[in-house]
Amino acid sequence: MKPNIKELSRNELEGWLSQRREPPYRAGQIQRWLFQKGATSFAEMTNLSVRLRDELQEGFSISRLQVLRDSSSRDGTRKFLFGLADALSIESVLIPESKRVTLCVSTQAGCGFGCAFCATALMGLKRSLRASEILDQILAAGRLVADQRITHLVLMGMGEPLANYSQTLKALEIVTDASAGMGISPRRVTLSTVGLVPQIKKLMEESRVNLAVSLHATTDELRSQLMPVNRKYPLGELIKCCRSLPIPKRRRITFEYVLLRGVNHSAEDARRLSRLLSGIRCKINLIPFNPHPGNPYHRPTQDEIQQFQSALRSRGHQVNVREPRGDDIQAACGQLNSEYKVQSSRFNVQVRTSNVGVGG
């Protein structure tokens, strides 16, 4: 198997070129073909000599994800199931809004963190993705929605990005490189984590993307139940880390908080959450639980959601409620699981039928 050219850093590419007496700027030309124009063959790279194109062709392959399924939600959200070279599969979700088009990408096939409310957890961790596999989701989605330009990126698909630190960072460098990469500003990129303290610190030193932290509970007892990672990095340590991060002016940390009916949205939870986050420049993103087959939790009622939101707002916090997007195609937060195909398609049919009945 020839090495995948998308895995080479700019330096490595320049090194390879210099051995062939080619100037270093060719590396930028090649990367622009790959990451800006989405080239799938060296033959397309017409500003390179035919000889160089032939040598590239001999030395390297150009990776491409297989599109296994492309589902569209009633709300315009699209979910892509992509096949990897080793027959594993991952999902990416495209979320068009009025002024932005956000792509949610996976960083691992499956996930090993076992959060109690998450569908991806049921798969377990298959493996971490290569940088090129993260980038290829963006390139493949871009091809599938040629009329829409992807403006924002969130690393909130399958997997824990900070458990795949080096490949994720390598991908982010190309995503945010305006000269030869995809040119998406780091301000428009958000990485979400279960709360791996050492990697959060490292990330804030090495990258300028936005940070989102999945909090979901206000006591160690509950958080450890919902998110086993809390036993390793308990709330106190996580919050202390967040408090000490060098957050640039006009930026905020996002704290994600999944709302599980009767579990974590009492008045006492609002008080504790407010106390935990006091003094941290942050916003709170409430995510009403998105159901998936076989999970015992429920979404609180609209009233309960609003009550919790107001309790936090009245304490001076910036609080948004994340609208479920693409939940009819199991594309919403925490519904990604590329394995329960049979189950979930049966589930979808039921949901659709009942919605037709109710909504007309």
What are the counts of helices (DSSP H) followed by strands (DSSP E) for the chain? 11, 12
For the CB of residue 41, give the shortest distance to ligand SAH in the complex, in Å.
Answer: 34
Which of 22, 91, 133, 256 is catalytic? The answer is 91
The verdict on 290 binding ligand SAH (CB under 6 A) reads yes
Strand partners, 259: 288
Tell me if residue 111 is catalytic.
no
**219-258 residues near ligand SAH, rule: CB under 6 A:** 256, 258
3-state secondary structure of 301: coil
Residue of 27, 287, 311, 329 interacting with ligand SAH (CB under 6 A)? 287
Stretch that binds ligand SAH, among 138-146, 186-194, 198-206, 266-274 (CB under 6 A): 186-194
In the structure encoding, which two tokens stand for residue 20, read together?
A: 């062939």
Single-letter code of the amino acid located at 323: E
333 is catalytic: yes
Per-residue x/- marks for ligand SAH, 131-170, CB under 6 A? -------------------------x---x----------
Smallest CA-to-CA distance from 290 within 232, 338, 348, 330 is with 330
- Binding range to ligand SAH, per CB under 6 A, among 37-45, 51-59, 188-196, 245-253: 188-196
Ramachandran angles phi, psi of 237, nearest 5°? -70, -40
Please name the residue ranges forming H helices in the chain: 10-19, 25-31, 50-59, 131-144, 165-176, 197-206, 220-226, 235-244, 267-277, 302-313, 341-359
Secondary structure of residue 315 in the 3-state scheme: coil
Interface residue with ligand SAH among 214, 254, 309, 344 (CB under 6 A) is 214
B/e letters for 68-95, b = 16+ CB within 10 Å, e = fewer, are eeebebebebbbbbbebeeebbbbbbbb
Cβ closest to ligand SAH, residue 17 vs residue 162: 162
Stretch that binds ligand SAH, among 112-120, 124-132, 244-252, 340-348 (CB under 6 A): 112-120
Q: Which of 80, 117, 233, 255 binds ligand SAH (CB under 6 A)?
A: 117
Whole-angstrom Cα distance, residue 269 to residue 259? Answer: 11
Binds ligand SAH (CB under 6 A): choice among 31, 168, 193, 264: 193
Residue 25 exposure: Cα atoms within 13 Å on the Cβ side: 2
Q: Which region among 51-59, 115-123, 133-141, 264-272 touches ligand SAH (by CB under 6 A)? A: 115-123
Is residue 194 part of the contact set for ligand SAH (CB under 6 A)? yes
CA-to-CA distance for 172 and 170, rounded, in angstroms? 5
Cβ proximity of 162 and 200 under 8 Å: yes
Q: How many residues bind ligand SAH (CB under 6 A)?
A: 17
- Please give the residue whose beta carbon sits closest to ligand SAH in the complex: 334
Q: State the residues that interact with ligand SAH by CB under 6 A.
A: 115, 117-118, 156, 160, 192-194, 214, 256, 258, 287, 289-290, 292, 333-334
Show which residues are catalytic.
91, 333
